[in-house]
Amino acid sequence: MSHYAPDAKYQEMAPGGIIPQAGNAVEYNTGTWRLQKPYRRDEDCIDCLFCWVYCPDVACWTNGDPEKPSVKGMQFDMEHCKGCGICAQVCPKKCIDMLPEGAE
């Protein structure tokens, strides 16, 4: 188990409220907080990767290629994107739109 069970008792908690198991934020769904969702228009994207750099939730996916990283066609991790809109704000081509949550 990489995180506490939902019914974990207080006796099972690590002292100090720390999370002793590193890297489990991926298992915590914060995508439910979102009011707006980002959508990238790939035809205008120049792969500057600003959206990837600035995303506070590491919710901006790339193709994972260290030689030629690209965000085109990857869109966003909707389980962790909180809809903050920073990616849209920093995009030099203004090709990320913030759409109302629930829009197609």
Partner 1 sequence: MPETKPMEGNHAVAEAMRQINPDVMAAYPITPSTEIVQTFSSFVANGLVDTNFVVVESEHSAMSACTAAAVAGGRVMNATSSQGLALMWEILYITASLRAPVILTVVNRALSGNINIHCDHSDSYGARDTGWLQIFGENVQEGYDNLIQAVRIGEALDVRLPVMNCLDGFLVSHSYELLQVEDDQAVKDFVGPYQAVNPLLDLSNPISVGPLDLWDYYFEHKRSQLDAYGPAKEAIIEVGKEFGKTFGREYGLFEEFMLEDAEYAVIALGSAAGTAKDAVEALRADGMKAGLLKLRAYRPFPAVEIAAALKGKKAVAIFDRAASYGADSFPLFSEVTSGLYTAGQLIPAVNILYGLGGREIIPDQIISVFRTLPSVAATGQPVDPVQYVGVRE
Q: Which is nearer to partner 1, 16 or 66 (CB)?
A: 16
Say if CB 83 and CB 36 are below 8 A apart. Answer: yes
Say if CB 80 and CB 57 are below 8 A apart. Answer: yes
Shortest Å, Cβ 30 to partner 1: 9
Say if CB 20 and CB 14 are below 8 A apart. Answer: yes
Q: Which is nearer to partner 1, 13 or 35 (CB)?
A: 13
Point out which residues bind partner 1 (CB under 8 A): 4, 6, 8-11, 13-20, 22-23, 25
Q: Which is nearer to partner 1, 13 or 46 (CB)?
A: 13
Shortest Å, Cβ 84 to partner 1: 15
Q: What is the CA radius of gyration of the chain?
A: 17
> In angstroms, how far is the first alpha carbon of the chain from the final one?
36
Q: Which is nearer to partner 1, 14 or 35 (CB)?
A: 14
Shortest Å, Cβ 33 to partner 1: 11
Say if CB 45 and CB 74 are below 8 A apart. Answer: no
